[in-house]
Amino acid sequence: MSTSNEVKTPTRSEPESGAASNFLREIVERDRAQGKHGGRVVTRFPPEPNGYPHIGHAKSICLNFGLARDFGGVCHLRMDDTNPETEEMEYVEAIQRDIKWLGFDWGDKLFFASDYYERLYEFAEQLIREGKAYVCSLSEEEFRTQYRGTVTEPGKPSPYRNRTVDENLDLLRRMRAGEFPDGAHVLRAKIDMSNPNMKMRDWPLVRIRHASHYRAGNKWCIYPLYDFAHCLSDLIEGITHSICTLEFESNRELYDWIVEAVGAKDPNNRPHQYEFARLNLSYTMMSKRKLLQLVETKTVAGWDDPRMPTLSGMRRRGYTPEAIRELCDRVGVAKNNSIVDLALLEHLLREDLDKKSPRVMGVLKPLRVVIESIEKGKVEEFDAPLWPAEMDRAGSRKLPFSREIFIERDDFMENPPKDYHRLAPGREVRLRHAYVIKCERVVKNEAGEITEIVCTHDPASRGEAAASGKRVKGTIHWVSAAHAFECEVRLYDRLFLAEAPGSLEDTAKELNPLSLQTLRAKLEPSLAASKAGDRVQFERLGFFFADPVDSKDGAPIFNRTVGLKDSWAKAAAKTAESTPTKEPKAEAKKEKAPAKEAEKKELSAEAKALVAAHDLAPADAALLTEEPALRALFDSALSAGAPA
């Protein structure tokens, strides 16, 4: 029986310091060498407090706080709270808790965009006075359909574009005073209606929204939009490197335009935006909006349900910050989107838990075994080590052993194949830390179900195999029936069956119906003293964590954090009839599998049209026609002026 978790570590090609180079580090190094920003490095993590942070946010947290740490800079935590309808204090608190748990600290650099509303308003008036912004009274729909233009056609000026400064100022002040309903007017940047980048076509900056804000209350009824608030918050805080995900690439031109328009003329001394590829994990959905749906529909027990990809859910399930940080390090920082295999995170987690989890025994689906060669009422005690010998760590517990024990139902087979090394009629198996037993007969009820196994033991086989000299092929775990501690165990599995969940609007259709199984397990008695937050490995079963929320003193509840092996890879390999790959890929898949599939297929008419129109590789065109989300991204990138 293997007591340790025998997975190999994918070797790292980078230095151990966490300072693996990437294009963002190179930019920071270059800027410092050139004396840009006076050599300062100030980054920020800018969450919108409209949900709990998820594993994707961890990537951005590690990146921003990591850069600041490694270059002697600081990282601000800024709540990007400019949307009154969805933001809440509960989320602000969750964000702070999760960042600390991940091991990062913002010190006294906690900021709120909502604290800048007055200054942002002043900037808005300044832009109007300098002829760089105007109040537009077209509805959003009118502007979009009649004025904005398309990717291939320029837009045309709003009829309100040439309002005088006085008229604009008057309207903006009355917007602020609450004289107009939502949507009646909007403040627009006055840039260029024929710019190939749609964001440069008089993008809106400030809108009317009669809604109460979780911090500002009812003080405001106009709110800055993302493109206005974000860059100016960066400017106000003296951010040097403003790092965001790739979807914001086309916003960069507007970012630069706005900071320059309010007077930050020196490109060596104002914030710059850089984009990197977001973290995507297979079988994991990372949209706060959709995660909120799961919470609101009570599909899960809350934001911290151990199946959720939120940091609070993962923490409650038993994930460690070390494993998550290691994942973020390993996948690196890229410029192109990819999907990382969830198996990599699980592998890193096992590696970390292996060091942190003492080995104990628990039986999840018990089957009673009576060892008739042991006297009734006799109790023997084994002093069993908590750690595998090769770890060379102290610690043991007492394991009582008696005539009646429980073994795992799966560890017995009435008609086993030849190579079955566990218990079967006439066969022998070793009970971990105890004796070798032999199955003499099976007891069944009227329905023909096995209710009990009757065995004998070999008194000469006491202790471990090596000591007793008795060799049998299999070793199984067990618990003494009279001493067993009955306990609730929650077996968690992936929340989604879909490899890329979230593509359907109705995410319920993508759920794994077996993502949670609750059992009454029989555990070894030492576990009765477990406290919330304790970690153990149930030998042969997996890593478990005493639920920090529902466990009570004397009544722990154990969550399965992760199994000992990647059962998903095995199942997948079985269906594919190929040998299972033991090790998850250490690197992000560079390309999604469908791209390769697509190469083989005949191109659809639509794909051919894309090839012809944009000179795309056939496989890329096929992929675009098959994945609506990707197609939407492609189209919006095109409309933003990016090359195909």
List active site positions.
48, 278, 288
Between 113 and 200, whose beta carbon lies closer to ligand ATP? 113
- Minimum CB separation of residue 256 from ligand ATP in Å reads 18
Considering only residues 405 through 464, tell me which ones interact with ligand ATP, judged by CB under 6 A: none
Taking the least distance from each CB to ligand ATP, the nearer of 293 and 402 is: 293
- Residues 244 and 236: their CA atoms lie apart, in Å, by 18
Q: What letters, b where the CB count within 10 A reaches 16 and e where it falls short, cover 560-576?
A: bbbbbbbebbeeeeeee
Cβ nearer to ligand ATP, comparing 51 with 556: 51
Number of residues that bind ligand ATP (CB under 6 A): 16
What is the three-state SS of 292-326? HHHHHCCCCCCCCCCCCCEHHHHHHHCCCHHHHHH
Report the nearest approach of ligand ATP to the CB of residue 162 (Å).
35
Cβ-based nearer residue to ligand ATP, 44 or 163: 44
Stretch that binds ligand ATP, among 40-48, 159-167, 259-267, 333-341 (CB under 6 A): 40-48
Residue with nearest beta carbon to ligand ATP: 56
Cα 382 to Cα 4: distance, rounded to the nearest angstrom: 20
Instruction: Give, to the nearest 10 degrees, the angle between helix 618-626 and helix 605-614.
Output: 130
Structure tokens at 117: 């509303």
CB of 502 to ligand ATP, least distance (A): 10
Backbone angles phi, psi at 618, to 5 degrees: -55, -40
Q: Does 56 interact with ligand ATP (rule: CB under 6 A)?
A: yes
User: In this complex, which beta carbon is closest to ligand ATP, that of residue 100 or of residue 173?
Assistant: 100
**Order of strands, edge to edge, in the sheet holding 222-224?**
133-136, 186-189, 204-208, 222-224
Among residues 514, 560, 554, 516, the alpha carbon closest in space to that of 538 is found at 560
Closest separation in Å from C-beta 48 to ligand ATP: 4
When binding is defined by CB under 6 A, the residue of 205, 259, 279, 491 that contacts ligand ATP is 279
Beta carbon of residue 238, minimum distance to ligand ATP (angstroms, whole number) = 18
Q: Is 278 in the site for ligand ATP (CB under 6 A)?
A: yes
Cα–Cα distance for residue pair 324/311, rounded to 1 Å: 9
45-53, 81-89, 197-205, 614-622 -> range binding ligand ATP (CB under 6 A): 45-53
438, 520, 433, 439: which is closest to 480 by C-alpha? 433
Restricting to residues 75-94, which ones interact with ligand ATP according to CB under 6 A? 80
By the 10 Å C-beta count (0-12 exposed, 13-18 middle, 19+ buried), 73 is classed as buried
**Nearer to ligand ATP by C-beta: 46 or 321?**
46
Q: Is 287 in the site for ligand ATP (CB under 6 A)?
A: yes
CB of 134 or CB of 248, closer to ligand ATP? 248
Residue 33 CB contacts under 8 Å (≥ 6 apart), including other chains: none
**Does 46 interact with ligand ATP (rule: CB under 6 A)?**
yes
Q: Please, what is the minimum distance in Å from the beta carbon of residue 288 to ligand ATP?
A: 3
Minimum distance from CB of 107 to ligand ATP (Å)? 19
Count the residues in the chain: 644
Residue 163 interacts with ligand ATP (CB under 6 A)? no
Strands 396-401 and 380-385: antiparallel
Q: Which amino acid is at 594?
A: P
Q: Segment near ligand ATP (CB under 6 A), from 55-63, 132-140, 198-206, 363-371?
A: 55-63
User: Residues 162-171: contacts with CB within 8 Å, 24+ apart?
Assistant: 162/134, 163/134, 163/135, 165/128, 165/129, 165/131, 167/135, 168/128, 168/133, 168/134, 168/135, 169/125, 169/128, 169/129, 171/135
Q: Does residue number 44 form part of the binding site for ligand ATP (CB under 6 A)? A: no
Residue 44 or 190 having the CB closest to ligand ATP: 44
Q: Which stretch binds ligand ATP (CB under 6 A): 15-23, 43-51, 201-209, 539-547?
A: 43-51
CA angle 322–328–334, rounded 5-degree value:
170
Give the Cβ contact number of residue 555 at 10 Å: 12
- Is residue 288 part of the contact set for ligand ATP (CB under 6 A)? yes
User: Is 47 near ligand ATP (CB under 6 A)?
Assistant: yes
Contacting residues for 95 by C-beta, under 8 A, at least 6 apart: 47, 49, 52, 53, 77, 79
* The only residue of 22, 48, 299, 606 in contact with ligand ATP, by rule CB under 6 A: 48
* By the rule CB under 6 A, 57 interacts with ligand ATP: yes
CB of 340 to ligand ATP, least distance (A): 10
> Residue 127 to residues 72, 120, 132, 452: CA-CA distances in angstroms?
35, 11, 5, 83
What residues numbered 108-147 form the site for ligand ATP, per CB under 6 A? Answer: none
Q: Where are the beta strands (DSSP E) in 113-267?
A: 133-136, 186-189, 204-208, 222-224, 241-245
Tell me the torsion sign for CA atoms 24, 25, 26, 27.
positive
Site string for ligand ATP, 218-257 (x = CB under 6 A): --------------------------xx------------
Burial (CB count within 10 angstroms: exposed 0-12, middle 13-18, buried 19+), residue 415: exposed
Q: Which of 273, 85, 111 is nearest to 182 (CA)?
A: 85
Cβ of residue 404: shortest distance to ligand ATP, in angstroms?
52
**Closer by beta carbon to ligand ATP, 286 or else 353:** 286
Give the C-alpha separation, 623 to 601, whole Å.
Answer: 11
* Minimum CB distance to ligand ATP, residue 346 (Å): 18
Cβ nearer to ligand ATP, comparing 130 with 247: 247
CB of 248 to ligand ATP, least distance (A): 7
CA-based torsion, 390, 394, 400, 406: positive or negative = negative
Query: What is the pattern of x (binds ligand ATP, CB under 6 A) and - over residues 334-363?
Result: ------------------------------
CB nearer to ligand ATP: give 293 or 396: 293
Residue 423 gets which letter from DSSP? B
Contacting residues toward ligand ATP, per CB under 6 A: 46-48, 56-57, 59-60, 80, 244-245, 278-279, 286-289
